[in-house]
Amino acid sequence: MFKPGVTVWYSVKSLEQTIAFYKEKLGFEVNFHDPDSGMAMVNTNTQDCIIGFSEAEEVVPSTSSTVFEVYDIELTRTTLEQRGVRFVGETETVPGMTKLATFLDPDGHNFMLSEVLEAS
């Protein structure tokens, strides 16, 4: 019934600022940008996972999180912090399951990094 893939869509204040963040800070590739309609999309490094954006006058930050799996959460967090990405709190550990770190995009939407812990 469903095709593989997912697109997550966010309202943003500034399309240009948003594109710069996702491209320069997170390393994602812009696959669509139409300034006239105020819409854009980026490919993440996850196959068939796209993030889309629509410009809006008023933006309410999403508190639900799109979660990106990483191999090394400490290294990834440090790299993103050096690029100017703002994290919320410390990296948390769910024993025997995962490590999680929450960061924000320019509009305050929540995103998370997740490193799956190896079974002991």
Q: Which CATH architecture has domain 6-116?
A: Roll (3.10)
Residues of the chain with pLDDT under 70: 120
pLDDT digits (tens, 9 = 90+) for 37-72: 999 999 999 999 999 999 999 999 988 899 999 999
Cβ neighbours of 15 (radius 10 Å): 18
The reported pLDDT for the residue numbered 120 is 60
Q: Give which of 75, 82, 87 is closest to 111, Cα–Cα.
A: 87
| pTM for this model (two decimals) | 0.92
The reported pLDDT for the residue numbered 118 is 85
Domain residue ranges of the chain, discontinuous segments joined by +:
6-116
Rounded CA-CA distance 47/45 in Å is: 6
Task: Write phi, then psi, for 49 (nearest 5 degrees).
Answer: -115, 115
The reported pLDDT for the residue numbered 63 is 84
